[in-house]
A and B are shown apart, each in its own frame.
Chain A
């Protein structure tokens, strides 16, 4: 390879990259959409195959591990019974708080079921791709949940797919509230711990409010992206900066963000096309 050929190739690379980086936003979005749409069926097939494989592995693992599983479940039942006794006394108080805070259940809004077909191809972002897109009425800034709690929000759509930024991503911000302490804060993603659990942190909690591990965090509805009252997770640990104005708290999300298979997009009523929709 001669020196001039090498120079030509580096120049070609620079030109190609400059062209790509300077594409107009609409052209860039369209190109991205075309590539995603072209690969969507392949994604669906590969992720479906992966799901079946995982289920088969779970079944095989279950055959060998029933005794251990029984022991674990017995311990869990004991623990849960004790929790139930404690929680029943709090139930009445909880009902009152819900009424006072105008807690609105997410299920009152139309939900669109979707399957997770892929994750961010490189791993820089905590995001997933779902098999519902603009033609199903999905649009950016709609909240996405599972039966356990908040997952994230839609950030980009193509006709048949949508990208969901998870609450564990450092670029994701959620206006949150701790109903028991009547405290507001901003939830920020911190990525994933080495044990695979997603991490979040609740910032800007007023330092004089009493918050403690186990408090539930829900969306506050401020900012207009997430409907109020969607469960997010539990406070795991509280940190207080003696000199600071605020406290922060580590939050463990309810939803298992590392093993998402099916999710629900919380639609605005006007977004749901006829024949699609709530399960």
Chain B
């Protein structure tokens, strides 16, 4: 059931992420909903399952775009392991925390992906364009992460999948 819920959340987040409109002044990047789902698992599950969720979320993001498979998995996985490392010190259920983590992970992941894709010659962006994209994803991450995490938690509640430490 836990795996099915993960697939359901990732499928819905992936579909929404690919069809949601973008703001050109935020660099034309997509709202990081798949990253928000990975963040949700990183805040609520053990690190092993959170890593699995992050790798799957990254894989889906790559498959739904033109990024070579595995690049986003690597970056998502690294980011979520970092979040998992500090999660005991955070007020995980506070919207402010989730918004901050959404912004930080969004910016960090976008920066890392930009570097990797640019180094491999897959994307060509000027420094200005890249910085706008990093900041754009940070803004969208701050706005969407609390909402996406709340919806994911409601789904877990509906399916009876509340983590033991939060009952």
Contact = CB atoms under 8 A, between A and B. Distances in A.
Interface of A: 1, 5-6, 9-10, 12-13, 16-21, 23, 28, 31-32, 35-36, 38-39, 42-43, 46-47, 50, 117-127, 129, 155-156, 163, 165, 170-171, 191-196, 258
Contact of A16 (B21, B65, B73): B73
Contact of A17 (B19, B25, B29, B77): B77
A46 B63 contact: no
A236 B98 CA distance: 45
A124 B67 contact: yes
A124 B61 contact: no
Nearest to A191: B129
Given A10-B81, A123-B133, 13 more contacts: A9-B81, A17-B70, A35-B64, A36-B63, A39-B64, A42-B11, A119-B18, A119-B30, A120-B18, A120-B30, A123-B30, A124-B117, A156-B66
A100 to B, nearest CB: 37
A118 B63 CA distance: 13
Interface string B50-87: 01000100011111111111111110011001001100
19 contacts: A9-B48, A9-B81, A12-B48, A17-B55, A17-B70, A17-B74, A35-B60, A39-B64, A42-B11, A50-B20, A118-B64, A121-B65, A124-B67, A124-B113, A127-B65, A156-B66, A170-B123, A170-B124, A196-B24
Nearest to A14: B74
Interface of B: 11-12, 14-22, 24-25, 27-30, 34, 47-48, 51, 55, 59-74, 77-78, 81, 84-85, 113, 117, 122-125, 129, 133
A125 B24 contact: no
B19 A1 contact: no
A49 to B, nearest CB: 9
A145 B96 CA distance: 45
Given A118-B64, A171-B124, A17 B24 contact: no
A28 B68 CA distance: 9
B11 A13 contact: no
Given A5-B47, A171-B124, A31 B28 contact: no
A5 B28 CA distance: 39
Given A13-B77, A124-B117, A193-B24, A35 B63 contact: yes
Leading 10 A-B pairs by shortest Cβ distance: A20-B70, A121-B64, A123-B29, A118-B18, A35-B63, A21-B70, A17-B74, A121-B65, A13-B77, A196-B24
Nearest to A259: B21
Contacts of A127: 65-66
A35 B60 CA distance: 7
Contacts of B30: 119-123
A51 B71 CA distance: 32
Nearest to B87: A1
Given A121-B61, A124-B123, A16 B66 contact: no
B70 A13 contact: no
Nearest to A12: B51
Contacts of A194: 24-25
Contacts of A18: 70
Contacts of B84: 1
